[in-house]
């Protein structure tokens, strides 16, 4: 039922994934180094007395490199501790902690991530294709269809520093496809993951073993190696029988960091394999490897970053079914510098080459079956301080898309500091979802009849986004972030008949337009020193229409079968110094078409620090029901309750 075939969304029983965009480096880079250089303009503090120093107002509160939090955007940060205390074992499950994302599990291995609606619809071969996911600066969306195969993305979760989830466009920094959201998964440098860590987890639904060892090569250089393996049980079909989608896999990797006062060098890589049961058809085999190098250098007034990576990912359906091999080469450069006292300039350029080959089948093929695609970009962004409380950030990216040519992706934002703890911000942006081989080259047949084909005339899906937000600490134990968005879309993908007189084959076209709007917000409330409550809510309304001349085939829900609302409530308790109790309740609103009722579920974890080196936890997922469904059958399966015992040993 899964299958590479479906991986590209060809068959009715499709798999989905979220989508991604380009330009990893931009993120990490653009934002780390840059915001720091302001310090250069500061006065000599060495002459001040202790009392004077103690009375200085200090700006940033972010200790770790969390520069993104500073950008005027809707950003939620899932911290290392959040992940550890939630008991999750996969990236997809960790992403459920972000109130500005909706995560939908379809099968044992197939999850969809979406922000702000238009998250695809498995019933119409439509995918969540407007999201970008980056792992340590490496883009992991598939250029074949703009979605992300989350089953092929894994990290040693214990080594993750944070996951930044930006809802809304980030195209100016990250490029095409960073349309509805950007997810930036950042692992710790090797010198922060010293020593041995072994984690073992077992329960009714999954078993996991992972180990990491970190050490020093010399005073400036540290490394870590890790390996992990897992198996996960099948979900259930409608009659509670097995959905035959159990899977297992393994991954290993290495990271080396050299860090000196003014420069940092990182080399890292991973290798993975997994087998996913495809029912009567055998198993899908997925595998991949990647290697990335990044160099950052700090000069007195500027920072530069150079990053390059190679990524290979493959998927094979059983018995000669659809398969693909994708190679990605990417190189990016970025510089940020202060210009005068008021300007902070960031510019950069990047080049990416995608090379892919697809094994076509009689019913599902890409013509041509192999291509080399290049993606070039150039961007510049200036952050201007106007007076003491207003900052304006304006930027533009020029991206040369392999299908649609040069795209202009401008963005302007303003932030107004009301006082030291409260900020208002506004943003207006333009972003696109670029055409992919699935939009232009695909051919699907029923028997020998061609019934659907891609169209080389397919245009980028365009959007303009307007946002306004507030964040701050309205009163002492509470921090709050609220934003409202209005997205205006043109040329969303639709299905049209071959011509006005001939029905088949259908073809992809750009026949849907409209807008979406909604609100998202979250808060952290430190109720008591040992108890934190974190509520989060998001809503989205989709007001779409078919363009004049469009056929209206498959209805407007093909753009996204999205819940109109979602509510999260996380409670985190420290019970003395040895015990922790965490729980997250989530309510996801009903899906319109195909319809699914709203559901409420809860994950929880009880942790016990059993000794200096041992931590034991009992965790459970989807505890409220013996099973629940997150997308209608036959695309989504029933997800049973899960209970697990976890041990973590750090000798």
Would you tell me which residues interact with another protein (CB under 8 A)? 35-36, 38-39, 42-46, 48-51, 53-64, 67, 69-71, 75-77, 79, 189, 191-192, 194, 216, 219-220, 222, 259-262, 264, 298, 385, 388-389, 391, 415, 417, 419-423, 471-473, 479-481, 522, 524, 650
Residues 596/564, Cβ–Cβ less than 8 Å: no
Tell me whether residue 56 is exposed, middle or buried, using C-beta atoms within 10 angstroms of its C-beta: 0 to 12, 13 to 18, 19 or more.
exposed
Smallest distance from the beta carbon of 465 to another protein, in angstroms?
21
**Residues 6 or more apart whose Cβ sits within 8 Å of residue 552:** 546
The reply to whether omega before 240 is within 30° of 0 (cis) is no
Q: Which is nearer to another protein, 192 or 585 (CB)?
A: 192
Which residue(s) pair with 492 in the sheet? 512
Smallest distance from the beta carbon of 571 to another protein, in angstroms?
16
User: What's the CA dihedral at 326, 292, 101, 86 to 10 degrees?
Assistant: 120
The pair phi, psi for residue 70, each rounded to 5°, is -85, -20
The pair phi, psi for residue 230, each rounded to 5°, is -150, 160
Q: Which is nearer to another protein, 234 or 256 (CB)?
A: 256
Q: Which is nearer to another protein, 344 or 462 (CB)?
A: 344
Q: Which is nearer to another protein, 137 or 189 (CB)?
A: 189
**Residues 6 or more apart whose Cβ sits within 8 Å of residue 192:** 161
Smallest distance from the beta carbon of 79 to another protein, in angstroms?
6
Residues 15/276, Cβ–Cβ less than 8 Å: no
Smallest distance from the beta carbon of 253 to another protein, in angstroms?
20
| Residue 292: C-alpha distances to residues 218, 230, 267, 312, 372 (Å) | 21, 25, 6, 12, 21
Smallest distance from the beta carbon of 39 to another protein, in angstroms?
5
Smallest distance from the beta carbon of 388 to another protein, in angstroms?
4
Smallest distance from the beta carbon of 164 to another protein, in angstroms?
11
Of residues 620, 605, 611, 609, the one with CA closest to residue 579: 609
Residues 82/88, Cβ–Cβ less than 8 Å: no
Q: Which is nearer to another protein, 333 or 470 (CB)?
A: 470
**Residues 6 or more apart whose Cβ sits within 8 Å of residue 187:** 135, 136, 155, 156, 159, 160, 161, 255
Smallest distance from the beta carbon of 426 to another protein, in angstroms?
14
Of residues 486, 472, 625, 483, the one with CA closest to residue 99: 483
Q: Which is nearer to another protein, 57 or 239 (CB)?
A: 57
User: What's the CA dihedral at 417, 418, 420, 426 to 10 degrees?
Assistant: -30
Strands (E), 497-554: 506-528, 531-546
Q: Which is nearer to another protein, 361 or 421 (CB)?
A: 421
CA angle 134, 138, 144 (to 5 degrees): 85
Smallest distance from the beta carbon of 221 to another protein, in angstroms?
8
Coil, strand or helix at 607: strand
Q: Which is nearer to another protein, 109 or 534 (CB)?
A: 534
The pair phi, psi for residue 20, each rounded to 5°, is -145, 175
Give dist(CA 351, CA 403) in Å, integer.
Answer: 15
Give the number of other CB atoms < 10 A from CB of residue 515. Answer: 18
Smallest distance from the beta carbon of 216 to another protein, in angstroms?
5
Q: Which is nearer to another protein, 79 or 207 (CB)?
A: 79
Give dist(CA 227, CA 488) in Å, integer.
Answer: 44
Smallest distance from the beta carbon of 407 to another protein, in angstroms?
29
Q: Which is nearer to another protein, 449 or 577 (CB)?
A: 577
User: What's the CA dihedral at 584, 585, 590, 595 to 10 degrees?
Assistant: 70
Give dist(CA 498, CA 509) in Å, integer.
Answer: 10
Q: Which is nearer to another protein, 153 or 572 (CB)?
A: 572
Residues 72/414, Cβ–Cβ less than 8 Å: yes
Smallest distance from the beta carbon of 38 to another protein, in angstroms?
6
Q: Which is nearer to another protein, 42 or 280 (CB)?
A: 42
What kind and span of H or E run contains 171?
helix 171-174
Of residues 251, 279, 256, the one with CA closest to residue 267: 256
Smallest distance from the beta carbon of 612 to another protein, in angstroms?
8
| Residue 497: C-alpha distances to residues 362, 453, 551 (Å) | 21, 10, 7
Give dist(CA 270, CA 285) in Å, integer.
Answer: 17
Smallest distance from the beta carbon of 596 to another protein, in angstroms?
30
Q: Which is nearer to another protein, 17 or 68 (CB)?
A: 68
CB contact burial 236-266 (16+ within 10 A = b; e otherwise): bbeeeeebbbbbbbbbbbebbbbbeeeebbb
Q: Which is nearer to another protein, 67 or 636 (CB)?
A: 67
Smallest distance from the beta carbon of 282 to another protein, in angstroms?
44
Q: Which is nearer to another protein, 209 or 480 (CB)?
A: 480
């Amino acid at each position: 039922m899964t299958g590479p075939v479906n991986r590209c969304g060809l068959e009715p029983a499709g798999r989905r994934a979220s989508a991604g965009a380009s330009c990893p480096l931009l993120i990490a880079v653009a934002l780390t180094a840059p915001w720091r250089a302001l310090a250069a303009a500061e006065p000599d503090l060495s002459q001040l007395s202790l009392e004077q120093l103690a009375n200085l107002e200090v700006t940033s509160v972010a200790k770790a490199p969390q520069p993104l939090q500073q950008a005027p955007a809707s950003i939620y940060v899932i911290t290392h501790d959040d992940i550890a205390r939630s008991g999750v074992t996969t990236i997809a499950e960790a992403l459920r902690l972000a109130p500005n994302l909706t995560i939908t599990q379809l099968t044992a291995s197939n999850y969809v991530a979406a922000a702000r609606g238009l998250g695809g619809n498995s019933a119409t071969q439509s995918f969540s294709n407007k999201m970008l996911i980056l792992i340590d600066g490496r883009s992991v969306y598939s250029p074949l269809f703009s979605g992300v195969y989350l089953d092929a993305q894994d990290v040693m979760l214990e080594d993750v520093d944070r996951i930044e989830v930006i809802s809304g466009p980030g195209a100016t920094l990250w490029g095409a496809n960073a349309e509805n959201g950007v997810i930036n998964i950042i692992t710790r440098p090797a010198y922060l993951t010293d020593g041995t860590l072994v984690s073992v987890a077992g329960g009714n639904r999954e078993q996991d073993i992972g180990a990491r060892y970190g050490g020093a090569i010399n005073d400036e250089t540290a490394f870590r190696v890790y390996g992990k393996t897992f198996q996960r049980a099948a979900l259930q079909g409608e009659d509670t029988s097995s959905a035959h989608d159990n899977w297992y896999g393994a991954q290993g990797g290495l990271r080396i960091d050299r860090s000196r006062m003014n420069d940092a060098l990182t080399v890292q890589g991973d290798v993975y394999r997994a087998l996913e049961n495809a029912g009567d058809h055998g198993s899908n085999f997925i595998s991949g490897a990647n290697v990335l190098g990044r160099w950052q250098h700090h000069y007195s007034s500027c920072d530069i970053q150079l990053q390059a990576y190679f990524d290979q990912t493959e998927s094979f359906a059983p018995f000669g079914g659809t398969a693909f091999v994708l190679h990605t080469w990417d190189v990016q450069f970025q510089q940020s510098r202060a210009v005068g006292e008021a300007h902070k300039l960031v510019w950069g350029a990047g080049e990416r080459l995608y090379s892919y080959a697809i094994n076509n089948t009689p019913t599902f093929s890409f013509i041509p079956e192999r291509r080399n695609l290049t993606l070039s970009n150039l961007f510049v962004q200036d952050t201007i301080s106007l007076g003491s409380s207003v900052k304006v950030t304006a930027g533009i990216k020029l991206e040369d898309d392999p299908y649609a040519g040069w795209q202009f992706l401008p963005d302007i934002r303003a932030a107004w500091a009301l006082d030291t703890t409260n900020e208002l911000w506004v943003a207006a942006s333009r972003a696109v979802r670029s055409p992919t081989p699935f939009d232009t080259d695909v051919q699907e047949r029923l028997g020998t009849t061609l019934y659907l084909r891609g169209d080389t005339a397919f245009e980028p899906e365009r959007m303009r986004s307007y946002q306004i937000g507030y964040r701050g600490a309205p009163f002492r134990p509470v921090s709050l972030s609220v934003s409202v968005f209005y997205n205006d879309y043109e040329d969303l993908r639709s299905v049209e008949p071959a011509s006005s007189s001939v029905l088949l084959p259908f073809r992809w076209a750009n026949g849907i337009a409209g807008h979406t709007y909604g609100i998202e917000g979250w808060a952290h409330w430190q109720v008591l020193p040992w108890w934190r409550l974190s509520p989060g809510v998001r809503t989205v309304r989709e007001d779409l229409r078919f363009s004049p001349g469009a056929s209206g085939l498959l209805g407007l829900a093909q753009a996204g079968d999205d819940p109109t609302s979602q509510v999260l409530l996380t409670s985190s308790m420290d019970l003395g110094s040895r015990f922790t109790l965490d729980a997250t309740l989530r309510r996801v609103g009903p899906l319109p078409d195909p319809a699914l009722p709203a559901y409420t579920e809860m994950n929880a974890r009880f942790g016990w620090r059993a000794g200096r080196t041992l931590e034991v936890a009992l965790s459970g997922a989807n505890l409220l029901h013996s099973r629940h469904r997150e997308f209608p059958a036959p695309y989504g399966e029933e997800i049973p309750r899960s209970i697990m015992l976890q041990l973590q040993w750090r000798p």
